[in-house]
Structure 1
Amino acid sequence: MTFRVGVIGGGQLARMMVPPAIELGIDIKVLAESEGMSAAIAATGVGDYTDRDTVLAFAETVDVVTFDHEHVPQAVLRALVDAGVPVHPGPDALQFAQDKLRMRERLGELGIPMPDWAAVSTVEQLDDFIAEHGGSAVVKTARGGYDGKGVRVVTAAAQVEEWFLALDEDGRGGALLAEELVDFRRELAQLVARRPSGAVTLWPVVESVQQNGVCAEVFAPAPRSAGRVAEMAARIGTTIAEELGVTGVLAVELFETTDERILVNELAMRPHNTGHWTIDGSTTSQFEQHLRAVLDLPFGATGHRAPWSTMINILGGPADGDLDGPAAAALADQPTAKLHLYGKEPRAGRKIGHVTVSGDDLDEVVFSARAAAAFFQN
């Protein structure tokens, strides 16, 4: 029997599921949002992922449905479940990745360490929170934000006044999420995979570096993480996966604070940018593991192929849109680099690909990965 996996969303995450699907003999189908998307190679159609009938019709062609993103509405997800379609992760878990306020409430119930936070519905409530937290705060829209969108550091509520107006115009009320501005020394990420039958596996915790709210670099494993840091990250990730009932890959973004705390920042219930290094640096990539998980197949090993791996995102790209020249130059200059391009047109700040290098010496690995990625900058 050939397994048939349907992926809703045609971005680069769906694209990177295609090679392991082919290797495992899985028939992978993608419902893309528009023509010419990154995963067009596996797209079986273009459709509106917010439309119930469109998604149900797509689901009839596959055995299990999973996702390239977390934006499919709950009503559509519930309709899939009601129709008997296996959905991984399911709506009960995905709600906590879709709504940051629900996520904070649930993690608080579980005793998971987080920044201090509050739901704020008015300018006055936010100003009070800011005053109680040293004169600044991080404010997030509860839904829809990613890659730095829907996130602002503020010193006064007036700086997000239009977000409060949008809440009023929505007609459903609601609130923004206010969080303490954490004094952190670095950002970490713990990737976990969980099968519907309950088995859990983890990769080593990694360190990530952000630029303008977008992941720019990842170091695997996170330097100086052996022992307490790795153990805490693994415990937090495992608890969240099990208690929220996540199926598939889960990414838990973390802060390591200057006062030695490990705090949860964000959750993503799908393959994640901080796990792209696993394609070349791990025995089993996050994309293969995600497919195994949603089909409830045995997990692959998650160890490193080399002591160190570094992933550098290619952001923006050359202004003239030419990727062939930089790609050839990067491959010639850094023959140990693994280049992954996403089939996207270059645009300022856009993720159009990544470079991974693995090896025995972290400094050499980082140098080579940065050198390869630099060929794509103006």
Structure 2
Amino acid sequence: MALRVGVIGGGQLARMMIAPAVEIGIDLRVLAEEEGMSAQLAATAVGDYRDLDAVRAFVRDVDVVTFDHEHVPQDVLRALVADGVAVHPGPDALQFAQDKLVMRARLAELGIPQPDWAAVRDADELRAFLDAHGGRGVVKTPRGGYDGKGVRVVRAGSEADDWFATLGDGEALLVEELVSFVRELAQQVARRPGGEVVAYPVVETVQRDGVCAEVLAPAPGAPQRLAQMAEGIGRTIAEGLGVTGMLAVELFETDDERILVNELAMRPHNSGHWTQDGAVTSQFEQHLRAVADLPLGDTSPRAPWSVMVNILGGPAEGTLEDRFSAAMSDQPAAKIHTYGKAPRPGRKVGHVNVAGDDLDDAVYIARAAAAHFA
């Protein structure tokens, strides 16, 4: 019988695990939040990932559990572990992706470079931090934020009063210094339970309105020292936090060639979609290998350059599928991936990958293909 890997969450990341699972002989099963989600081809159950009974019923028929997102509550995760279920990444690691304050404290213990930060519980504490950091800062909700949500640049202690009003006893917001950076980078590594770790090249990510719009792989002009530093940070975090599966470390590159950790994701990540067509082993196959404790794959690029452009929003009228023929005819070198989602402003509904010998050409082709879906 094939190894059965259960994915909690039916979004596009689970969808993109389906093809590599078939190719390497893994029986992929998905617990989707509702009918008709992106990963519906592999959805064997529909249920609430916060409902322990629903999750227990799903995992009864799998050998290993992993995730499409990091939102499964700690009490559910720890109940599964107590039941003897193989959970990768486990709750001890996932807590650092679920709570940014917990993450910041642990990264500080590991000596990882990161922005100055503090836990703040009211406007006075926030004002004191701003006064010590040039009058500006970034306030984040410790839990639940993504793609720019739960993030706010502030210049006064009162500008987070609405968030302070929602805090419970013992809760706090995270405030960080507003980093002066020249670009954003991302470092991906994979780690299997036995301890083997592999790393992908560091990439440049281009953000628009808090959402990843493009990825350039490898990061153009990155000196060897910076690339080695990024890989070292990724490996240290994966090992120090006990991550199993894919880990994405989002980074700021400063104007003095330092890199600081911004965010973590313990799953396949938007910054690694280029690997589907640009690396020997895609991040989706690698994640499955890692959580199943199989030998990890080669992370080498297949071409000097790879470019990923997100399809955000989709067409105002019609469907993405209506645009396929024109995009394919216009840019036959582009690899188009869609998520089975209805178009909606700002929504990630697909992406385009292009790999080649010339970066400018790859960028042009990817953008031209993605433009057909606007």
Q: Please, what is the CA RMSD of the aligned residues?
A: 0.7
- Give the CA deviation at 1:259: 2.2
Query: 2: distance between equivalents of 1:172 and 1:316?
Result: 38
Query: 1: distance between equivalents of 2:169 and 2:57?
Result: 30
Q: Deviation string for 1:93-144 (max 9, x for gaps)?
A: 0000000000000000010000000000111000111111111100000000
Query: 2: distance between equivalents of 1:324 and 1:82?
Result: 45
Segment of structure 1 superposing worse, 94-103 or 318-327? 318-327
**Structure 1 partner of 2:74:** 74
Query: 2: distance between equivalents of 1:131 and 1:271?
Result: 38
Query: 2: distance between equivalents of 1:172 and 1:300?
Result: 46
Kindly, what percent of the aligned residue pairs are identical?
71
- Give the CA deviation at 1:45: 1.2
The DSSP-based 3-state class of the residue aligned with 1:230 is helix
**Structure 2 partner of 1:256:** 253
The DSSP-based 3-state class of the residue aligned with 1:364 is helix
**Structure 1 partner of 2:241:** 244
Query: 2: distance between equivalents of 1:210 and 1:99?
Result: 22
- Give the CA deviation at 1:173: 3.1
Query: 2: distance between equivalents of 1:121 and 1:259?
Result: 33
Q: 1:309 aligns with which of 303, 306, 311?
A: 306
Contact persistence 1:341–1:354 (CA under 8 A)? yes
What is the correspondence of 1:131-170 to structure 2 with a 5 Å cutoff? 131-167=131-167
Q: Deviation string for 1:222-253 (max 9, x for gaps)?
A: 01114111000000000000010000000000
**Structure 1 partner of 2:86:** 86
The DSSP-based 3-state class of the residue aligned with 1:166 is coil
The DSSP-based 3-state class of the residue aligned with 2:37 is coil
2:188 pairs with 1:175: no
- Give the CA deviation at 1:75: 0.2
Q: Deviation string for 1:140-183 (max 9, x for gaps)?
A: 0000000100001111122221100011xxx3331000000000
Q: Count matched residues.
A: 374
**Structure 1 partner of 2:229:** 232
Query: 1: distance between equivalents of 2:94 and 2:214?
Result: 26
Q: 1:299 aligns with which of 273, 296, 306?
A: 296
Query: 2: distance between equivalents of 1:370 and 1:97?
Result: 31
1:112 maps to amino acid: I
Q: Which runs of 4+ in 1 moved over 6 A?
A: none
**Structure 2 partner of 1:101:** 101
**Structure 2 partner of 1:318:** 315
In structure 1, list runs of 5 or more residues that go unmatched.
none
Query: 1: distance between equivalents of 2:106 and 2:149?
Result: 23
Q: Deviation string for 1:274-306 (max 9, x for gaps)?
A: 000000000000000000000100111010111
Q: 2:334 aligns with which of 310, 334, 337?
A: 337
2:6 maps to amino acid: G
**Structure 1 partner of 2:58:** 58
2:231 pairs with 1:198: no
Q: 1:363 aligns with which of 357, 360, 365?
A: 360
The DSSP-based 3-state class of the residue aligned with 2:16 is helix
1:120 maps to amino acid: V
Contact persistence 1:321–1:345 (CA under 8 A)? no
Query: 2: distance between equivalents of 1:58 and 1:157?
Result: 46
2:151 maps to amino acid: V
In structure 2, list runs of 5 or more residues that go unmatched.
none
- Give the CA deviation at 1:323: 1.6
- Give the CA deviation at 1:361: 0.3
Given the two structures, how large is their TM-score scaled by the length of structure 2?
0.99
Q: 2:350 aligns with which of 343, 350, 353?
A: 353
